[in-house]
Structure 1
Amino acid sequence: MAQKKTGKNAATAASKTLQDGRTGQASKSAAGSALSQVNAGRITGTEAAQAASDVLQSRETGKTSKMAAASTLAQKKKVGRQQET
């Protein structure tokens, strides 16, 4: 299975999220995780995944932050599910 990595659009959204002074801690955590995965080989940790989940469920979070959070969750290792070969 090919390793996932953060794409250009998601990396740009993550960068903007980190630079925005209005951004909350959960959004910044998810964005930081997404940026750390620009190159393949890293997976999302439990804390970053929880932060990304919180960001996606929040009605107060903007589209840019949600894009970075979605990228972060997409790179979370699936537990208890068999991967296709």
Structure 2
Amino acid sequence: MAKNSKRTTKQLASTAAKFLSDANSSKIKKHLSGSVLAQSRTTKQTGKKMESELSAILKSSKYDKDTKMLAASLLSQSNSSR
């Protein structure tokens, strides 16, 4: 697997941590927040299967702007050669 040179910003990592601790956050928002935090200080990158799920989230009208923001961040850290 290729190394990821892109990193989650401290501001986004902080926001993701808040979503994780918020009892009112949706399951998908918490899932994406965990992924964002996992990529914040490592060379982990978004996998191919996750790319498809993230794309569907961005295209859907049922997700709020915060969920789409997390999805966009994760999608930007995917392998660009795919």
TM-score, normalised on structure 2? 0.71
Distance 1:66 1:15 in 2: 16
**1:71 lines up with 2:81 in the alignment:** no
Amino acid at match of 1:11: A
Q: CA RMSD in A?
A: 2.3
Q: How does 1:1-85 map to 2 (within 5 A)?
A: 3-19=5-21, 21=24, 23-25=26-28, 27-79=29-81
**C-alpha distance after superposition, 1:32-78 (max 9, x if no partner):** 32221011411111222222112111101111111111110000011
Amino acid at match of 2:51: A
Q: 1:23 to 1:13 in 2, by over 3 A?
A: same
Residue segments in structure 1 that go unaligned for 5+ positions in a row: 81-85
Percent identity, please.
33
Residue segments in structure 2 that go unaligned for 5+ positions in a row: none
Q: 1:54 to 1:32 in 2, by over 3 A?
A: farther
Q: How many residues align?
A: 78
Q: 1:39 to 1:78 in 2, by over 3 A?
A: same
Using the TM superposition, give the Cα deviation of residue 31 of structure 1 relative to its aligned residue in structure 2, in angstroms: 2.9
Q: 1:68 to 1:34 in 2, by over 3 A?
A: same
